[in-house]
A = this chain, B = another copy of it.
Amino acid sequence: MKRLALTVIALLLAAPAQADTLVDNVNGITLDKDGKVVRFTGMVIGTDGKVKQLLDRKDKRPERPDFKEDGKGRTLIPGMIDAHGHLMGLGLSLMLLDLSDTRSLAEAQAAIKKYADENPELPWIIGRGWNQEKWGLGGFPTAADLDAVVPDRPVWLERVDGHAGWANSAAMTAAKITAATKAPEGGRIEMVDGKPAGVFVDAAVALIDSAKPKPLARDLDRAFLAAQQQLLAQGITAIADMGTTIQEWQAYRRAGDKHQLAIRILSYGGDIDNMALIAGPGPTPWLYDDKLRMVGVKLYLDGALGSRGAWLKAPYSDAPGQKGLPLLTPAQLRNKMVRASMDKFQVAIHAIGDAANAEALDAITDLTADLPGERRWRIEHAQIVDPADIPRFAKLGVIASMQPIHQPSDRLMAEARLGAERLKGAYAWRSMENAGVRLAFGSDVPVESANPFPGIAAAISRTDAQGQPFGGWHPEEAVSRETALDGFTRSAAYAAFAEDRLGTLMPGMRADFLIVDTDLLLASPEDIRKMVPLETWIGGYRYYKKGG
């Protein structure tokens, strides 16, 4: 675990309280409740932390505000809402060995050995972020590769997409894995010479995961604060936490009880059991001044594309016998959806492959008549969708909760997995928008960085951090700057039943905003990608100041 002194922070920086605040001389941008761009040069924030008034250049300023902030002509935009992330996953990942920057197996091995040597007290070496594609390995790494650098303790490293894990021999021994161990349904144990090779895919990840030491409550508390601090610095003012466990919820509540909650958490219980244990007979009230609420439940219908766990209608182009697998039977999926919906919980279904998306839509179709009211069904990722299914999202009022940054990250892998024809419905933001589907944007942090600006750049350009491919990958699926902003603000709030308080800066809404040095609606994708918040304000309090 990393040294933590840097992550446990004093949260309130020169924050006004119980007083009207005028933020003046800004290039202010927000969407209104209908999604139209509104520009302003000043904003008055009330003592309740809500926007009181937006001011035009010619509007008269309050004569004696209690606090006055000079924006110095910089741009002010709404706080970014990440519609799909894993808050504690981020926090714990910040505590772990991070291999995401390694460019070869040898580099990874060196990093692992260094970390193990530096942390002799850790019972297990736990890390994440490896990607054999990036290393040009041609196949998965093995336990032997790890045994060569850490023979004495279990080593367990999660792949960058979270859908596979890499163990050394000590970890397999600790988990009682032998040549006879069967992979559970929906999982795969990589084998070499009739023995487990070290990599465990999808549902088989649990075989090792269940043996590793669980983080203690104090570890979760530190992880949460580390995650929060990173998100504040990235301009995230609210995040939909997709799959909250009771342990994680208790950490969020502890932070709330100790007045340490800065960001807003829109929580979706990790399956029905966590949902019911955490929230009880229905969604929780907004807690801690709108900082925490359990809204619904997150269900997993399939796995991921990289590990070929995504459930496809036709076989993988690069693995002809495989189509992936549903993780729930039709009856299981529908039962869970009904149980949550009867108690007014919102349902968010993870569906990546086109078969999973079709099945999620089928289930929603089956249940809609018996579950009247505004359900706002969400499909999380909606990554590979049969173009024929896209209009069904709109017809059923299903929110497509997508992560633009996945597109540049997945591009080459997706081409290999899917082939040219199926790419027509892949990361198909513009097709969704044109069909009338509500788009909520997120990051899937820690699978990707939560930094929303590379996501917005990808959304409008279909290019990666190097601006590749030139002109964009399937550029017909790029969306406008306004749509990208909407996806990370207004629609992300709507997607969590929070549009009555979050997502825009119109009067009455919570004063959650960023000061940045770039006009998001005018800048190039390159400039947007490099954007960094100078200040992050939530509920009228400044929680982050760059360099401050």
Which A residues contact B (CB, under 8 angstroms)?
216-218, 220-221, 246-247, 250-251, 253-254, 257-258, 276-281, 284-285, 287
Contact = CB atoms under 8 A, between A and B. Distances in A.
6 contacts: A216-B276, A217-B277, A218-B280, A246-B246, A254-B280, A257-B285
Contact of A246 (B221, B254, B277): B277
A293 to B, nearest CB: 10
Given A284-B257, A285-B258, A250 B221 contact: no
Report, nearest first, the 4 A-B pairs whose CB atoms are least far apart: A217-B280, A218-B281, A217-B281, A257-B285
A413 to B, nearest CB: 39
A221 B251 contact: no
A287 B259 CA distance: 12
B257 A277 contact: no
A473 B345 CA distance: 58
Nearest to A249: B250
Contacts of A284: 254, 257
Contacts of A220: 280
Contacts of A253: 253
A280 B221 contact: yes
A276 B217 contact: yes
Nearest to A247: B277
A108 to B, nearest CB: 32
Given A217-B281, A247-B277, A250-B278, 16 more contacts: A216-B281, A217-B276, A217-B277, A217-B280, A218-B280, A218-B281, A221-B280, A221-B281, A246-B246, A250-B277, A250-B280, A253-B253, A254-B284, A257-B285, A257-B287, A258-B285
Query: Which of A216, A276, A277, A281 counts the most chain B CB atoms within 10 A?
Result: A281
Contacts of A287: 257
A287 B280 CA distance: 19
A257 B280 CA distance: 12
A346 to B, nearest CB: 17
A247 B257 CA distance: 19
A319 B254 CA distance: 50
A122 to B, nearest CB: 16
A91 to B, nearest CB: 14
Nearest to A276: B217
Nearest to A253: B253
A271 to B, nearest CB: 15
Given A258-B285, A285-B257, A285-B258, A251 B280 contact: yes
A350 B258 CA distance: 31
A285 B218 CA distance: 15
A296 to B, nearest CB: 15
Contacts of A281: 216-218, 221
A277 B216 CA distance: 9
A216 B251 CA distance: 23
Contacts of A280: 217-218, 220-221, 250-251, 254
